[in-house]
């Protein structure tokens, strides 16, 4: 704006009458007004912002709960499907009747597999002269009846000790009354539920049948219809048919072996 014109302008005329202090005070007042408005606006927005934050937090928690519920339901259905598949494959499991913990655990596994020639039971070392390398013995092509007996004794609270070389006893060990198996002693009398029965080729846990006659629970022998790759647990008259050869019966008589 030209100076002559600005001098006649009311704004500039008023401005020219203000001192530098007046101008500084007006500037500070303007800044304070702006700051007050910003503060007021912020205070007005804070409840809304807090409500938004709270809603977002609650929504996140709800989403996590929903995700957990969905996962639980998926897991439940998977387990249910697995149990249904087992019933289709094996039939209904046998209801345990023995009061002895070892025999009862063994009976509870009747109808289930997992003790076949091919499994991950590394402790179930078969004959030492098999053609597999040491690292693979027990995993492939070896019977698992001794692994089942070992598992039953452990689960039933009557564990047996390991034998030479740190391996678990095999059927040959249980079938030899001269074997040294910590915590167990061969007996001459009639078997009781939970005793170990072996002819040196197969081994099982003594558990009377439903009709009261003598019987054993064992992982089926490889040459049986339920044996081989499947390794189904069976409850039958094996050991008391009269054609299996002499049987050796072992009973828990000593303290649990040291690990």
Q: What is the mean pLDDT of residues 61-86?
A: 67
Question: How far does the chain reach from its first CA to its final CA, in angstroms?
Answer: 103
**78 and 206 fall within a common domain:** no
Q: What is the mean pLDDT of residues 91-97?
A: 68
**83 and 198 fall within a common domain:** no
**If you ran DSSP here, which 8-state letter would residue 140 be given?**
S
Q: Is the pLDDT reported for residue 2 higher than 90?
A: no
pLDDT of residue 129: 39
10-14, 35-39, 62-66, 202-206, range with greatest mean pLDDT: 202-206
Q: Among 192, 199, 183, 190, which Cα is nearest to 252's?
A: 183
Q: Is the pLDDT reported for residue 86 higher than 60?
A: no
Q: Which tokens belong to 197? A: 């029965």
| Residues paired with 186 in a beta bridge | 250
pLDDT of residue 114: 76
Which CATH number do you get for residue 129?
A: 3.90.1720
Q: What is the mean pLDDT of residues 111-115?
A: 80
Q: Is the pLDDT reported for residue 139 higher than 50?
A: no
Q: Which domain holds residue 35?
A: 3-88
**84 and 110 fall within a common domain:** no
Sheet with 216-219, strands from edge to edge, namely 184-187, 248-252, 196-198, 203-206, 216-219, 233-236
**102 and 220 fall within a common domain:** yes
The owner of tokens 């807090």 is: 50
Q: Among 22, 11, 18, which Cα is nearest to 1's?
A: 11
Query: Does residue 103 sit within a domain?
Result: yes
Range name among 45-49, 82-86, 173-177, 245-249 with the lowest pLDDT average: 82-86
For residue 177, count other CB atoms closer than 10 A to its CB.
14
Q: Which of 58, 88, 118 lies at the terminal end of a domain, its last residue?
A: 88
Query: Does residue 93 sit within a domain?
Result: no
**238 and 197 fall within a common domain:** yes
For residue 164, count other CB atoms closer than 10 A to its CB.
9
Query: Does residue 212 sit within a domain?
Result: yes
- 132-141 own/partner pairs: CB under 8 Å, 24+ apart: 141/117
pTM: 0.59
Q: Are strands 203-206 and 248-252 parallel, antiparallel or unpaired?
A: unpaired
For residue 40, count other CB atoms closer than 10 A to its CB.
10
Q: Is the pLDDT reported for residue 83 higher than 60?
A: no
CB 227 within 8 A of CB 201: no
């Amino acid at each position: 704006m030209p100076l002559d014109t600005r001098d006649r302008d009311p704004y500039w005329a008023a401005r020219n009458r203000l001192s530098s202090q007046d101008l500084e005070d007006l500037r500070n007042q303007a800044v304070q007004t702006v700051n007050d408005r910003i503060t007021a606006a912020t205070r007005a927005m804070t409840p809304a912002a807090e409500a938004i934050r709270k809603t977002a937090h609650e929504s996140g928690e709800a989403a996590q709960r929903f995700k957990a519920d969905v996962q639980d339901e998926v897991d439940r259905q998977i387990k249910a499907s697995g149990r249904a598949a087992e019933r289709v494959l094996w039939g209904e499991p046998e209801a345990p009747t023995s009061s002895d913990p070892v025999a009862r655990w063994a009976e509870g596994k009747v109808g289930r597999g997992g003790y076949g020639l091919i499994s991950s039971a590394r402790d179930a070392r078969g004959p030492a002269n098999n053609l597999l390398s040491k690292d693979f013995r027990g995993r492939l092509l070896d019977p698992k009846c001794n692994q089942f007996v070992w598992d039953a004794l452990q689960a039933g609270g009557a564990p047996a000790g390991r034998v030479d070389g740190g391996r678990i006893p095999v059927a040959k060990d249980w079938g030899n009354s001269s074997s040294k198996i910590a915590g167990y002693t061969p007996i001459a009398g009639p078997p009781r539920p939970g005793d170990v029965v072996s002819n040196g080729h197969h081994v099982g846990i003594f558990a009377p049948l439903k009709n009261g006659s003598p019987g054993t629970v064992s992982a089926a022998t490889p040459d049986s219809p339920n044996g081989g790759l499947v390794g189904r647990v069976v409850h039958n008259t094996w050991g008391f048919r009269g054609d299996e050869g002499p049987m050796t019966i072992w009973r828990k008589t000593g303290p649990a072996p040291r690990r």
